[in-house]
Structure 1
Amino acid sequence: MAAVFGVSLKAEERFQAAKGQVSLDHYPVRNWTARHRHITLAMFALAFLAVAADDAKPTRPADPNRPARGREPVDLTVPEIHRFIGALLSPPVTSLNALLHWSNWCRNHQASARRSHYRQ
């Protein structure tokens, strides 16, 4: 019973991520065909972002304690990749260097928070 609950919880988390990242729940359509096309494109976009985030991970040896003890920044996530693509496709409000600086700061801050959490 616990295994079934765990699987359904993971599926619900992924569905919430899809709603937040690729606007899966924002479809201003009236018929089934248009809704189906919107959901298909949204899921394709989420799959693209997930593959890009997985491809951006550096190759490291498998170490179960690495997230708690590592000094390197947290790996790129789907929201981070989404932000990069949005920044590259829209008119530049900030420079590329500022965007990369923000990303490095944010991921280093997340790594520091993770170390502090595991230290307690």
Structure 2
Amino acid sequence: MEAAVTGGLPCRWVAGDEAYGGDPNLAAALRGHHLGYVLAVACSHHVPTGIGVQRADQIAADLPKQAWQRLSAGDGAKGHRYYDWAFITLPLAVDQHAGHHWLLIRRNRTADELAFYRCWSPRLVPLPQLVSVAGSRWRIEESFQSAKTGLGLDQHQHRRWRAWHRWTTLVIAAHAFLAAATTVSTTTAEGMTAITANELRRLFHALIIEPARRTANLIAWSIFRRRHQATARNSHYARQALGGGSRSRRESSN
């Protein structure tokens, strides 16, 4: 993190799972760099409040019904990823960095499962912005999964750091190339999803590395798959819109 900030990486927010949310030194360092964060914490995480230190799950249990708001954490494969959200303003941390602290709570609308986040921002922000940052982890995790399954990010089998570093750098560069290449075409045919990094990788492998079939057949299969994906996506969104206030289906990305 220090190297990224010193190097001038443009960044305003940091998101992370419980492994990072449980590290108070990381949170203090982020505040020192004036970087807002939304870091997941365990249900047993102790939170300082105006009436003393409490467990995160106890705070959630005491919230009134009107404290919860239904908000989308972003678009998913089966429609908007709707959850119930609530946040509680917390007192300043012991390091006294200026800014605003919150405990953000996410509730699954079908299973009533809870997730908790410690949040901080150098300026006051509304709940939807914290929800948006929390939801951004889904896309980040999707990118890591794509790099693992499609490009072998976790298949290095190296014992030394230098070899691992070279392998990881090459895989990330390849993934960045695919991601950048998907933005070259700004138009998408009606009734088809936009081409993704995974789809581009499949086409590149089939057309360049192992050209086992005719080019026309591969392109036709790619178009068919993207049209099928678009039909399924539109169906999910339409069904979700018709459902109105009813509880949405549980997302696989919980």
Give the TM-score band, short-chain normalised.
0.7 to 0.9
What's the CA shift string for 1:17-65, capped at 9, x where partnerless? 2212211000021211000000000000000000011223317xxxxxx
TM-score, length basis structure 2: 0.40
Verify the 8 A CA contact 1:74 1:111 in the aligned structure 2.
yes
> 89-98 or 11-20, which moves further after superposition?
11-20
**Counterpart residue type for residue 198 of structure 2:** P
Residue identity (%): 38
Query: Does 2:206 align with 1:77?
Result: no
Where do residues 1-120 of structure 1 align in structure 2 (5 Å cutoff)? 1=104, 3=130, 5-58=134-187, 71-120=190-239
What's the CA shift string for 1:51-97, capped at 9, x where partnerless? 011223317xxxxxxxxxx9431110011100111112224221100
Count, aligned residues: 110
Verify the 8 A CA contact 1:72 1:108 in the aligned structure 2.
yes
Deviation of 1:14 (Å): 2.4
**Counterpart residue type for residue 111 of structure 1:** A
Verify the 8 A CA contact 2:192 2:227 in the aligned structure 1.
yes
Q: Which has the higher contact order (CA 8 A, sep 6+)?
A: 1
Root-mean-square deviation (Å): 2.1
Q: Which structure dedicates a bigger proportion of its chain to strand? A: 2
CA distance in 1, matches of 2:227, 2:148: 27
Deviation of 1:111 (Å): 1.1
Verify the 8 A CA contact 1:21 1:46 in the aligned structure 2.
no
Structure 2 stretches of 5 or more lacking a match?
1-103, 105-116, 118-129, 240-254
TM-score, length basis structure 1: 0.79
Tell me which structure has the larger Cα radius of gyration.
2
Q: Secondary structure at the match of 2:162?
A: helix
Counterparts in 2 of 1:30 and 1:80: CA distance versus 1, 3 Å: same
Structure 1 stretches of 5 or more lacking a match?
60-69
**Counterpart residue type for residue 50 of structure 1:** A
